[in-house]
Amino acid sequence: MTTPGMRHLFIYDPPPAARDVEKNPDLLPHVDYVRRAVAHLSAFKTDDPAQAACFVVPVNLIHFQFHKPQIDPWDFLKNLPHLGRGPHVLWATGDYGQRKRGPYESFHEGRAYPHLYEWLDERFRLVLFESTPEVSPADIPVLPYVLNPGRPAWWERLLTPQPPARDLLYSFSGALSYAPLLPEAHIRGGVFTRMAGHGKDYFIGSPATARKRFGRRGSYRALFERSVFTLSPAGFGRWTFRLGEALHYGSIPVVIADDYVLPHADKIPWDHLIIRCPEKDAAALPDRLRSIGKDEIRSRQQKIAEYRPHFTEAGVHAMLAHALVGTPG
């Protein structure tokens, strides 16, 4: 239900062509990013296109970019009946290659983004995770966030043991390198490989190494819950899922991604929550993190707890609604 001063959205039905390309099991979360956001935005829906400030198209470009053979979504987007009435909102929760080329792209053979979409002009607004200086001012970068589990909350609590004390100062569990697809100076082109290792209060390594060292306490989620700091490096894109995941589990993110622009800066005082580190300085991170005092750590943890509603699925959807229809979210 809308209130005076709020704008309205016209929401299209999902195009059949979009459903046909949403079957890649590795990309199923990207289906939910759109469906759940659209469900939230439905509160501002109008069936009268003349009353709409924006037109929401439940389509995520990532499915077309990874589909083999590639299909151009313009084949059906060009037939949308209200394309000339106002901005049309699409999702693009992939890495890069949306409106212009970025300086960190990898152009390896078989990449998922071989061409820019020539039709992607001012008629379209993108909801995206890749937040960089190359993003159009009309686009809406959002925080990568943890999707709510499909199981009831009581079932999640039953299956998930109580998190242990934060006995690790810092950790990273994931792909250390994408070499040779990324240059050696890139944080995931060789820098992280040279930083890999583990000790009494730190871990940098692969998920397999984490399980071997810690057992159940080395699961992906457990390491977030055990770590004071979570290293959050760029990958093929500038954004990193670990930023949202660390915040969700109360760990202080250490963002190692040059030129990543933190979203929602008008609502979240990022400098008081996270640590930023230039990629060229990553090797010195262990000493830097050990030099941070307990009072600063406690202050950042308290700020993360204070702003946690913004990092949830509902919180991100509320900020998206604010950008589109002017809600107080």
Of the candidates 14, 100, 41, 16, the one whose C-alpha atom is nearest the C-alpha of residue 322 is 41
Q: Specify whether 75 is located in the same domain as 157.
A: no
Q: Specify whether 187 is located in the same domain as 40.
A: no
Q: Specify whether 115 is located in the same domain as 71.
A: yes
Average pLDDT value for residue range 93-112:
77
Residue 303 located in a structural domain: yes
Q: Specify whether 78 is located in the same domain as 159.
A: no
Q: How many CB atoms lie within 10 A of CB 64?
A: 22
pLDDT at 87 over 80: yes
pLDDT at 187 over 80: yes
Q: Specify whether 157 is located in the same domain as 306.
A: yes
Residue 72 located in a structural domain: yes
pLDDT at 154 over 60: no
Q: Which pLDDT score, from 0 to 100, does residue 150 have?
A: 58
Domain carrying residue 246? 153-311
Residue 272 located in a structural domain: yes
Q: Specify whether 258 is located in the same domain as 169.
A: yes
Q: Tell me if residue 141 falls in helix, strand or coil.
A: strand
Residue 2 located in a structural domain: no
Q: Which pLDDT score, from 0 to 100, does residue 2 have?
A: 47
How many folded domains does the chain comprise? 2
Residue 320: exposure state from Cβ atoms within 10 A (0-12, 13-18, ≥19): buried
| Token pair of 254 as six digits | 């250490």
Q: Specify whether 157 is located in the same domain as 134.
A: no
Residue 96 located in a structural domain: yes
Q: Which pLDDT score, from 0 to 100, does residue 18 have?
A: 86
Q: Specify whether 13 is located in the same domain as 130.
A: yes
Amino acid at 310: H
Q: Specify whether 132 is located in the same domain as 212.
A: no
pLDDT at 185 over 70: yes
**pLDDT band at residue 115 under the 50/70/90 scheme:** confident
Q: Which pLDDT score, from 0 to 100, does residue 152 have?
A: 55
Q: Specify whether 131 is located in the same domain as 166.
A: no
**Cα pseudo-dihedral 53, 123, 100, 237, rounded to 10:** 40
Q: Which pLDDT score, from 0 to 100, does residue 155 have?
A: 52
**pLDDT band at residue 1 under the 50/70/90 scheme:** very low
Average pLDDT value for residue range 265-287:
96
Task: Specify the pTM.
Answer: 0.90
Q: Which residues pair with 230 in a beta bridge?
A: 171, 253
Q: Residues 202-258: pLDDT tens digits? A: 999 999 999 999 998 889 989 999 999 999 999 988 999 999 999 999 999 999 999
pLDDT at 163 over 60: no
Residue 148 located in a structural domain: no
Q: Specify whether 127 is located in the same domain as 180.
A: no
Residue 290: exposure state from Cβ atoms within 10 A (0-12, 13-18, ≥19): exposed
Residue 3 located in a structural domain: no
pLDDT at 5 over 70: no
Residue 49 located in a structural domain: yes
Who wins on pLDDT, 157 or 149? 149
pLDDT at 151 over 60: no
Average pLDDT value for residue range 151-175:
71
The CB-side HSE value for 44 (13 A sphere, CA atoms) comes to: 26
Q: Residues 204-220: pLDDT tens digits? A: 999 999 999 999 888 99
Who wins on pLDDT, 42 or 115? 42
For residue 81, the 8-state DSSP code is T
Question: Helices marked H in the chain — which ranges?
Answer: 16-20, 28-41, 61-66, 74-77, 153-159, 192-195, 207-214, 220-226, 241-248, 285-290, 294-306, 308-311, 313-325
What CATH number is associated with residue 245? Answer: 3.40.50
Q: Specify whether 36 is located in the same domain as 136.
A: yes
